[in-house]
Amino acid sequence: MKVTIVGCSGSYPGPDSPASCYLLESDGFRMLLDLGSGSLGALQRHIGLYDVDAICLSHLHADHCLDICGYHVARTYGPEAPYPTVPVYAPADAPARLAAAYGMPEEPGLETAFEFVPLTAGSYEIGPFTLTAGLVNHPVEAYGFRVTNGARSVAYSGDTGESGELVRLAAGVDLLLCEASFVEGPDLPPDLHLTGRQAAQHAAKAGVGRLVLTHLVPWNDQVTVLDEASGGGYDGPFELARSGAVYDLA
């Protein structure tokens, strides 16, 4: 399994990265975890525009899903359109919400380009991958993911506050992509985001092989995020996410 960080900026695109998007590849199959603001452009540095086989949306905040609208244009009006529909695993209200964001009626909505599959807690066979989704702690319906392919595995927090479900999803994975949106401070709101320290604590409890801190909000000092992670009790390798970084889990 190969994992490419297409976008890792939190809340909105930053100067060095689009918002959340992660490309997972195995056996010629290409699956995206999230397709957030600005990520469609950067994605084309790694694969062809029409080479996506499946998309999984952790939740429906714009920084995790909004480039579905632009991708609908590409797949509906591109030079060899119509292209085959792409399955999109997402919360049940995704078709209506994303059609509204695009500015079109719910019917026919975006379903000329996408086949929406309502996402619930549970496991899905998607190409060569087994994806397990679990509800995490965020103000909207939001999922963390565990993706396995043979003996290799990766977990993705999506957006979450402290979450026992994330620890369960990430247990023993080779790679944990964990959000670290907050820096330590007084009165941080619960059930919203994690600090670097909290991300490392989740990684330690789950016994992951490597931790990558992601969903990095541009106004934060990222050196501080990394320093705070060092106090979370995780003794494996950890680092900040970077757009374009590739992890080969061979």
pLDDT in tens, 99-128: 999 998 877 889 999 999 999 999 999 999
The whole-number pLDDT of residue 139 equals 97
| 193-215 confidence digits (pLDDT tens) | 999 999 999 999 999 999 999 99
The whole-number pLDDT of residue 108 equals 81
Two tokens at 119?
Answer: 């996402």
**Order of strands across the sheet with 129-135?**
122-126, 129-135, 143-149, 152-156, 175-179, 211-214, 238-240
Of 176 and 112, the one with more pLDDT? 176
Segment 180-194 shows an average pLDDT of: 96
Q: SS3 letters for the chain?
A: CEEEEEECECCCCCCCCCECEEEEEECCEEEEECCCCCHHHHHCCCCCCCCCCEEECCCCCHHHHCCHHHHHHHHHHCCCCCCCCEEEEECCCHHHHHHHHHCCCCCCCCCCCEEEEECCCEEEEECCEEEEEEECCCCCCCEEEEEEECCEEEEECCCCCCCHHHHHHHCCCCEEEEECCECCCCCCCCCCCCEHHHHHHHHHHHCCCCEEEECECCCCCHHHHHHHHCCCCCCCCEEECCCCCEEECC
Two tokens at 209?
Answer: 């092989």
| 30-81 confidence digits (pLDDT tens) | 999 999 999 999 999 999 999 999 999 999 999 999 999 999 999 999 999 9
Q: What are phi and psi of 129, to 5 degrees?
A: -100, 150
Share of the chain above pLDDT 70, in %: 100
Q: Is 85's pLDDT higher than 90?
A: yes
